[in-house]
Chain A
Amino acid sequence: MMTSFDQIRKEAKAKGKKRAVVAPVPAAMDFAALSAALAEGLVSPIVIGSSDALSSWVKGLGKKASEIEIIEEPDAMRALALAIDMLKKGEADILMRGSLDPNRFLQAVLDKEKGLLKERVASLVSVFDPPGVERVTMTTDTYINSFPSIVEKVTITENVIRLARMLGFDSPKIAALSAIEQVNPAIPSTLDAAILSKMAERGQFGDVTLEGPLDIDCAVSRRAATRKGVHSSVTGQGDIYLVPNVEAGLLMAELSVFIGKTPMACALMGVSHPVVLNLPFVPAENRVTEIDLAVLLCGRF
């Protein structure tokens, strides 16, 4: 299993250079992560958009500039459609969001017919590298689905398990979080967590241990769980945290980043190709890790 972002970087570099298509670039954008990925030899970029927006970045790259393929298409949505088409035809490996807003970008990417959606729903996994923990941990869904139904939660669970396996977690331990550790019909997320837990017990998610509902103290602390009388191999040892809704997911991820100063990078799952979203709540230091993750996911969906 991946022990840290450093290990993810090493494994990604060992994969060889991937073709990352960046689209659309109708206006100036922050190319820092892409420049770093280029310097590390992770990707060779194909940029679709307006060459005016690219000129200052390309100039600053020196010799590396020759590795960039630029396709002129000033219309944002047409540029994005072209990029998606390239992925489908195998002409590119990774899609990176350029300067289009996440809403319009995701609408196109997750379009059932023309986009890259592969599963019932896509979901975002926030991958953390917590200091003092000997492995990376995952929290999902931290962005895409606002208030997922149990049917959608099943897919979100399958999506994150797929990522975990790609990151070397053969038998991931999963905590389905809620407000309390008891099943209480008045709190619907406890019912969802219990259903997921029962499905896992019956082998419906393959080789995983999924415990739920768990409150966060039982999930992160074996000592706290024992005090509450909760005995499970997941308590204090969770690899994956499933959140009840996006408010919990997004805010938990942001709190871990801003108060806990925990490194975090995200991966979009449920799609046919790796997509780097470049979302605003990802720290600048970890944006290259998102490209590392995308490189690791290439050809494995």
Chain B
Amino acid sequence: MIRSFRDMDRLASEKGPKRLVVLAPEDEEFMMAVKKSAEEGYTQPILIGDREKMERLADQVQYDISKTEKIYEKSRQAIADLGISMLFSGEVDIAGKGQIPTAFIYRAIIREESKVGKGKVVSVISMWDIEGLDHLTCFTDTGVNIAPDYRAKAEILRNAVFLFHLLGYPRPKICVLSGKREINGDIPSYQDYLELKKAAAAGDLDSCEVMGVTSFLDIFCPGGKAFRLGDIDIGKADFPHIMLVPNLATGNILVKLDFALKNVRRRSLVMSSRGPVIIPSRSDFQDSILGEIAAGVTVAEQIKGGTAS
């Protein structure tokens, strides 16, 4: 079982290098992360992007790309399409987003998914490694679906359950988050929770458990008892592996609170049916991008070799 980002980093250096196609590494932080991932033995990169920009940036970060495979292309959509098609054809193990609008990548993934007949809902899974918690957790969907309905949420959950199975969690626990509270009755996300709980119990969401909680208050204070800040112990809480967010705005706000909280780190990816696509935020810095690459390498390895034990 992969319990932490440290486990991922270790596995990435042990099992690497994997073939990573990098879509438009046209920013210094990103180019530096790609360089480090090659140095650490995580990846064997293939760079697609604007020739002049890539060469200038590689030079700036002292990365010798003379022997690295490069494909020169300026059109953002063409870069996305080519890189994602390489992932789906098996030429590479991982695709990684650089300086390219995320929507272009999602569009390319959706197109390839429909070609292989999966028609999968594309969703972003943002993992969190929280200090004091002995397992990984994640928020989803934090990037694609603006206001998913019940059917989309079920698909979003299947994607995350698949990822957690790969990471060695045979029956991940799910918290369907909702803004339901004591006032204003049930809101749609709570109705979705009730339906998803039934679906999970019937085995419709693969092997997982939908917990009987919909908020952090529920998770930490079952029964609604008063609590003291000083007594909160995340290691003792029955903390979920997967947190399904009610909508995109909520997901994005929650998951990027790592910028404010000191005890949390984040790594995001899309699980396509042919492998991981890592999706660093445009505001991420080289260390977190390198971490995301390690996550991609780990997942690619697990796909090849089955689940982590």
**A178 and B260 contacting across the interface, CB-CB below 8 Å:** no
Chain A residues near B230: list those with CB within 8 A. Answer: 285
Cβ-defined partner of A103 (8 Å) among B183, B220, B254: B183
A89 at the interface (CB under 8 A from B): no
SS of B interface (majority): loop
CB-defined interface of A169-210 with B at 8 Å, one 1/0 digit per residue? 000000001111000001101000000000000000000000
**B229 and A216 contacting across the interface, CB-CB below 8 Å:** no
Q: Which of A140-170 contact B (CB under 8 A)?
A: 143-144, 146-147
**A255 and B229 contacting across the interface, CB-CB below 8 Å:** no
B234 at the interface (CB under 8 A from A): yes
A252 at the interface (CB under 8 A from B): yes
A227 at the interface (CB under 8 A from B): yes
**B181 and A258 contacting across the interface, CB-CB below 8 Å:** no
A281 at the interface (CB under 8 A from B): yes
**B249 and A251 contacting across the interface, CB-CB below 8 Å:** no
B116 at the interface (CB under 8 A from A): no
**B215 and A250 contacting across the interface, CB-CB below 8 Å:** yes
Cβ-defined partner of A143 (8 Å) among B181, B187, B260, B283: B181
Cβ-defined partner of A225 (8 Å) among B228, B250, B283: B283
Chain A residues near B184: list those with CB within 8 A. Answer: 103, 146
CB-defined interface of A265-289 with B at 8 Å, one 1/0 digit per residue? 0000000000000011101111000
Chain B residues near A103: list those with CB within 8 A. Answer: 182-184
**B228 and A284 contacting across the interface, CB-CB below 8 Å:** yes
A215 at the interface (CB under 8 A from B): yes
CA distance A179 to B259 in the complex (A): 15
**A187 and B146 contacting across the interface, CB-CB below 8 Å:** yes
CA distance A244 to B247 in the complex (A): 11
CB-defined interface of B238-281 with A at 8 Å, one 1/0 digit per residue? 00000001111111111011011101100000000000000001
Chain A residues near B261: list those with CB within 8 A. Answer: 256, 259-260
A130 at the interface (CB under 8 A from B): yes
| Interface hub of A106, A223, A244 (most chain B Cβ within 10 A) | A244
B177 at the interface (CB under 8 A from A): yes
Could you list 14 examples of A-B contacts with CB < 8 Å?
Answer: A179-B253, A216-B257, A217-B259, A220-B257, A220-B259, A247-B179, A247-B250, A248-B249, A248-B250, A252-B254, A255-B257, A258-B220, A283-B228, A283-B229
**B177 and A251 contacting across the interface, CB-CB below 8 Å:** yes
CA distance A256 to B228 in the complex (A): 14
Beyond A245-B179, A286-B229, 14 extra complex contacts between A and B, CB < 8 Å? A32-B226, A179-B251, A216-B252, A221-B260, A227-B283, A245-B247, A245-B249, A250-B215, A258-B219, A259-B261, A261-B229, A261-B232, A280-B226, A281-B216
| Known pairs A224-B259, A252-B254; A258 contacts B232 (CB<8 A) | yes
B194 at the interface (CB under 8 A from A): no
Cβ-defined partner of A245 (8 Å) among B183, B250, B260, B281: B250
Chain A residues near B178: list those with CB within 8 A. Answer: 247
A85 at the interface (CB under 8 A from B): no
CA distance A102 to B181 in the complex (A): 9
| Known pairs A225-B283, A252-B254; A247 contacts B234 (CB<8 A) | no
CA distance A258 to B220 in the complex (A): 7
A218 at the interface (CB under 8 A from B): yes
A257 at the interface (CB under 8 A from B): yes
A249 at the interface (CB under 8 A from B): yes
Chain B residues near A101: list those with CB within 8 A. Answer: 182
CA distance A244 to B249 in the complex (A): 7
